[in-house]
Amino acid sequence: MQIGDRGKALFREWEGVVPHVYLDSGGAPTIGIGHLLTPSERSSGTLWLRGQALRLQDGMTADDCEALLEQDLEPVQRCVNSAVTVPLTQNQFDALVSFAFNVGNDAFLNSTLLKRLNAGRLDEVPAELARWNRDNGRVVPGLVNRRNKEIALWLRA
């Protein structure tokens, strides 16, 4: 599966579209639509997009932000597709991609959420999503809101 248009629209809403480097709620340097800068990108001042180096100090266009989101979503979609063993609706898939994108593939792969999902306990996924509302040990209102929207998307027919 691939993330749908509804899921992509929610990424723009949740992450924002910011064409310059900023610090996210956890203090991590970020650009575009939730792209966390890697140590290499921070030290070099460039990121690779569409096979070309893009200087961070020059900022990004709206098209660059969209292309970077697509590039960033590819490994997350592969992760969700390979890890989930039960059938999903498009909305459920989109909610999981959003979640995995936010917490990271490793956290998703090692989560109780994934274990319960693959055991066929789909009704427990919303409660598991809601548990992931902290950054650096403290509850973050933005994460509470994001999880609530992912839960709503998960439950949407």
Q: Which residues are catalytic?
A: 15
Rounded CA-CA distance 108/7 in Å is 18
Backbone φ and ψ of 133, nearest 5°: -120, 15
Residues paired with 32 in a beta bridge = 18
Angle at alpha carbon of residue 101, lines to 98 and 106, rounded to 5°: 130
Run of H or E residues at 49: strand 46-49
